[in-house]
Amino acid sequence: MAFTFPIRVYWEDTDAGGIVFYANYLKFFERARTEWLRNLGVEQQKLRDEAGGMFVVTQAELNYLRPARLDDLLEVTAVLQSAGRASITIAQQAFLRPVSSDGTPQLLCEGSIRIGWVDSTSMRPARIPNSIVEKLS
């Protein structure tokens, strides 16, 4: 089941034409991923302080399908796609809300984001702590 997070498009998110600048979908996805993890009880600052590690983006692949515009309300999703011992991959999508007149959600952008676990001091890859893996499963 996908976690959903609402995001309003503000002036700062758009280009001169009032359309969301493509790189800002990465910011929208980051916010939704962070809230998804927080919802699972995984707070990133607490992880760094208590577990000595943190997640970093190691790969991002996005497909842009339709534009979002100034003042649009988006629903951004995050769902675990796969999990390993040192990284996880999250499937993410951004939909326009409200849905179209026929009730179909309008998919604007979709992507796959891989995040790896690193030691926060050395920045070297490490195994994700078991306590976190359990929460993600």
Q: How far apart (Å, rounded) are the C-alpha atoms in residues 14 and 21?
A: 5
What is the per-residue pLDDT across 103-113, written as a single tens digit (0 to 9) for each? 788 999 999 99
pLDDT in tens, 6-61: 999 999 999 999 999 999 999 999 999 999 999 999 888 888 888 889 999 999 99
* CA–CA separation, 125 and 122 (whole Å): 9
For the structural domain made of 3-136, what CATH number should be given?
A: 3.10.129.10
Residue 100 in this model has a pLDDT that exceeds 90 = no
Active site residue 13: no
Say which of 13, 15, 49, 72 is annotated catalytic: 15
Sequence spans of domains, the chain: 3-136
Residue 82 has which token pair?
């796969």
Identify the sign of the CA torsion 82, 65, 58, 75.
negative
Structure tokens at 85: 């011992």
For residue 109, what are its two tokens?
A: 């952008």
